[in-house]
Amino acid sequence: MAIHVTVWNEFFAERNDPAVQATYPQGLHAQIAAGISRLEPDALVVRTASLDEPGQGLAPEVLDTTDVLFWWDHERRHLVDDALVQRIVDRVHCGMGFVALHSAHFSKVFRALMGTSCRLRWRNGSDRELVWAVSPNHPVAQGVPFPLVIPAQEMYGEFFDIPVPDELVFISSFSGGEVFRSGCGFYRGQGRIFYFSPGDQDYPVYHNEGVLRVLANAALWAAPAAKILDQRYAPEYSAHDWFIENPVGGYERR
């Protein structure tokens, strides 16, 4: 059963900065989509979406058929509609996977899911980044070099103001000596969230095979389980007088 992935990108620098355009002529979302499709052709069905498309790329018919949403934003993140943010958050709570990339640590969606400021330190100085698995048996770390070497990257450093990750998979070091929790899994409601920090637009990070392996793994890991709690009441309990809040307001008996 294929997993439907949508890779969303603000798609701005690639159209306005010649250096970025040279690295990602079709946008970094296109590069990511092609890469993870190539690595997992049987498991993943991948499409792209971006900010300037109708419905900011995520009209209901797109979002409602997405199993895992990848997200990259930066300078244009303030333009993402708050109602769309809420729809995405609700859908994660109902089981959709969400993979936040690099500067999406500060996206509206990721911050709403974390409940923290998500602040961090950074320096755009072409540091070498080494990504080390501290949970080497984790599904997202399978097939990834140890360490994963990224010759040039923007530095992201601690303190990274996130909740303690439910699963800490990768820790990075940088030429300057800084460290960063660069690969983190979270569970929120029925949904799984993975944050992976490598991927600044100024460097060809998404051309790195090891990085693409991480992203393909993250798509597989974040895909929703087939079954949902509410359909599994024991017959002994069907007569119980339970109430439960509805996500959209009010409550019902079940």
Interacting positions 172-231 with a second copy (CB under 8 A) = 172-174, 176-179, 181, 186-190, 225-229
Residue from the set 47, 74, 87, 128 that interacts with a second copy by CB under 8 A: 128
Give the interface size with a second copy as a residue count (CB under 8 A): 73
Region binding a second copy by CB under 8 A among candidate stretches 14-22, 44-52, 112-120, 198-206: 112-120
Residue from the set 61, 82, 241, 252 that interacts with a second copy by CB under 8 A: 241
Region binding a second copy by CB under 8 A among candidate stretches 18-26, 39-47, 52-60, 121-129: 121-129
- Residues comprising the chain, all counted: 254
133 binds a second copy (CB under 8 A): yes
For the four alpha carbons of 22, 196, 116 and 224, in that order, the dihedral sign comes to positive
Residue from the set 19, 171, 185, 201 that interacts with a second copy by CB under 8 A: 171
- Residue 200 Cβ vs a second copy, minimum distance, rounded to whole Å: 13
Residue from the set 104, 148, 220, 223 that interacts with a second copy by CB under 8 A: 148
**What are the two backbone dihedrals, phi and then psi, of residue 177, each rounded to the nearest 5 degrees?**
95, -5
Question: Both tokens of residue 199?
Answer: 């991927």
Residue with smaller CB distance to a second copy, 193 or 215: 193
Question: Both tokens of residue 107?
Answer: 């996206």
145 binds a second copy (CB under 8 A): yes
- Residue 47 Cβ vs a second copy, minimum distance, rounded to whole Å: 25
Residue 47 amino acid letter: R
Region binding a second copy by CB under 8 A among candidate stretches 16-24, 28-36, 38-46, 154-162: 154-162
Residue from the set 130, 150, 205, 223 that interacts with a second copy by CB under 8 A: 130
Q: Distance (Å, rounded) from C-alpha 151 to C-alpha 54?
A: 37
What residues are paired with 224 via a beta bridge? none
Residue from the set 18, 42, 243, 250 that interacts with a second copy by CB under 8 A: 243
Residue from the set 72, 98, 160, 194 that interacts with a second copy by CB under 8 A: 160
120 binds a second copy (CB under 8 A): yes
Strands 121-133 and 167-174 come out as antiparallel
Residue with smaller CB distance to a second copy, 42 or 61: 42
Rounded to whole angstroms, what are the CA distances from 75 to 72, 202, 210? 10, 13, 26
In sequence order, the 6+-apart residues with CB closer than 8 A to the CB of 138 are 167, 169, 185
Strands 251-253 and 243-245 come out as antiparallel
**56-83 burial, b for 16+ CB within 10 Å, e for fewer?**
bbbeeebbeebbbbbbbbbeebeebeee
Q: Distance (Å, rounded) from C-alpha 130 to C-alpha 164?
A: 22
Residue with smaller CB distance to a second copy, 65 or 86: 86
